[in-house]
Amino acid sequence: MSYSIDIYRGHARPAKSLVDYACYVSLFPQLVAGPIVRYHEVDAQLRERAHTWAKAGAGIVLFVLGLAKKVLLADSVAPMADWGFAQPAIGLAGAWSSLLAYTLQIYFDFSGYSDMAVGLGLMIGFKFPQNFNSPYKSASISEFWTRWHISLSAWLRDNLYIPLGGNRKGPVRTYVNLFLTMLLGGLWHGASWTFMLWGAYHGSLLALERMNGRRGLVHGLPRPLQIALTFLLVMFGWLLFRAKNLAEFARMLRGLLGGNGWGSAYPLADAGWLNWGGMLFCLVLVFAARNTWEIRWQPSRRLAVGLALLFLVCVATFLVNTSSPFLYFQF
Convert the pLDDT of each residue in 139-196 to its tens digit: 999 999 999 999 999 999 999 999 999 888 889 999 999 999 999 999 988 889 999 9
Which of 99-113, 182-196, 208-222 is predicted most confidently? 99-113
Quote the mean pLDDT of the chain: 90
Q: Is the pLDDT of residue 108 over 90?
A: yes
Q: For residues 321 and 229, which has the higher predicted lDDT (pLDDT)?
A: 229
Query: Quick one: pLDDT band at residue 323, thresholds 50, 70, 90?
Result: low
Mean pLDDT, rounded, for 72-94: 93
pLDDT at 322: 67
pLDDT at 329: 65
Query: Quick one: pLDDT band at residue 309, thresholds 50, 70, 90?
Result: very high
Convert the pLDDT of each residue in 243-296 to its tens digit: 999 999 999 999 999 998 988 888 887 778 889 999 999 999 999 999 988 888
Distance, in Å, from the CA atom of 11 to the CA atom of 285, rounded to the nearest integer, reads 38
pLDDT at 256: 95
The set of catalytic residues is: 189
Q: For residues 66 and 49, which has the higher predicted lDDT (pLDDT)?
A: 66
